Copies of this chain bind each other. A is one copy, B any other.
Amino acid sequence: MGTRRATAEKQRPARDPSAIFERNEVRETFRISYLANSLVLPAYDEISREYSLSRGEYLLLFCLAHMPKLTAQDVANMTGRPRNSISRAVHRMLREGYVDRTPDPEDRRQAMLQITARGLKLHRRIVTKFIAREDALLSVLDAQERAALDSILKKLVLHTATLAV
């Protein structure tokens, strides 16, 4: 790793990549974005390689693993992704047998989605990746800090819903 260390040594503070975290007008936005990527992208990478599922496809599985019945629109609301992405994901997951769909007789525009046993099994295997990553990240916080973070994030998420898009 000689090269790498040499490069790092040459690196003046003016180019230190971590400096930008302190040096910008929207520090919390930048940090939250960065953390989100760091929490989520490595796992999605593995999921794509190991199971050939796209981000949107696993997101659908994830939602259905925790909510017994959802419409495609519900999933779009939860994840903030556009409906066409969900639609594509639903078709793929139906083909793979991870998800079931039954038309809603009370509103024939929509259909109720449900996870299958097979889908739930897959989710349980996959979600460990995210758990491990989250644990690793949060391990740097003490109990008090964790509690504070938890309550603050809860508040923020709740508040977000009231903001106009």
Contact = CB atoms under 8 A, between A and B. Distances in A.
Nearest to A21: B157
Interface in A137-165: 137-138, 140-141, 145, 148-150, 152-161, 163, 165
Interface string A121-139: 0000001001101101110
Interface in A3-35: 14-15, 17-21, 23-29, 31-35
Contacts of A137: 156, 159-160, 163
A111 interface: no
A134 to B, nearest CB: 5
Interface string A44-56: 0000000000000
Interface residues of A, number: 65
20 contacts: A15-B74, A20-B78, A23-B66, A23-B67, A25-B127, A26-B134, A28-B134, A28-B150, A29-B134, A31-B157, A32-B35, A35-B153, A35-B160, A36-B36, A38-B163, A140-B156, A141-B156, A145-B148, A148-B148, A152-B152
